[in-house]
Chains A and B, each alone.
Chain A
Amino acid sequence: MPLHSIFLLLVWLGLNNTLAPGHIVLGGILAFLIPLVVAGLHTPQPRVQRYGLACRYVLMVMYDIVVANIEVAIRILGPMKNLKPGFVAVPIETHNELMLTILASTISLTPGTVSAEVTKDRKWLYVHVLHMEDEEALIQQIKERYERKLREVFGC
Chain B
Amino acid sequence: MSFLVELLVSILIVAGAGFALIGSIGLVRLPDFYTRLHAPTKATTLGMGCLLVASIALISLAEAELSVHELLITLFLFITAPVTAHMLAKTALHYDIGFVRGTRGKELASKARERVSPKENDE
Contacts and interface: CB of A to CB of B under 8 A. Distances in A.
Interface of A: 11, 13-15, 17, 65-66, 69, 72-73, 76-77, 80, 83-89, 104-109, 111-121, 123-124, 126, 128, 130, 132, 135
B35 A83 contact: yes
B68 interface: yes
Interface residues of B, number: 51
20 contacts: A11-B72, A15-B69, A17-B69, A69-B42, A72-B38, A76-B25, A76-B39, A84-B102, A87-B109, A87-B112, A89-B108, A107-B82, A108-B85, A109-B41, A109-B78, A109-B82, A114-B89, A116-B90, A116-B112, A117-B112
B117 A124 contact: yes
Interface string B36-77: 011101100110010000000000000000011101100000
Given A76-B25, A126-B112, 7 more contacts: A72-B42, A105-B83, A108-B81, A120-B115, A124-B117, A128-B34, A130-B35
Interface of B: 19, 22-23, 25-26, 29-32, 34-35, 37-39, 41-42, 45-46, 49, 67-69, 71-72, 78-79, 81-83, 85-86, 89-90, 92-93, 99-100, 102-106, 108-109, 111-113, 115-118
A112 B19 CA distance: 14
Q: Main secondary structure on chain A at its contact with chain B?
A: mixed
Given A87-B109, A89-B108, A66 B38 contact: no
Given A83-B31, A105-B83, A124-B118, A88 B105 contact: yes
Contacts, number: 145
A17 B67 CA distance: 6
B12 to A, nearest CB: 13
B103 A86 contact: yes
Nearest to B42: A111
A30 to B, nearest CB: 16
Contacts of B85: 108, 114
Given A14-B71, A65-B45, A87 B38 contact: no
A104 to B, nearest CB: 6
A117 B31 contact: no
A90 B111 CA distance: 13
Nearest to A123: B117
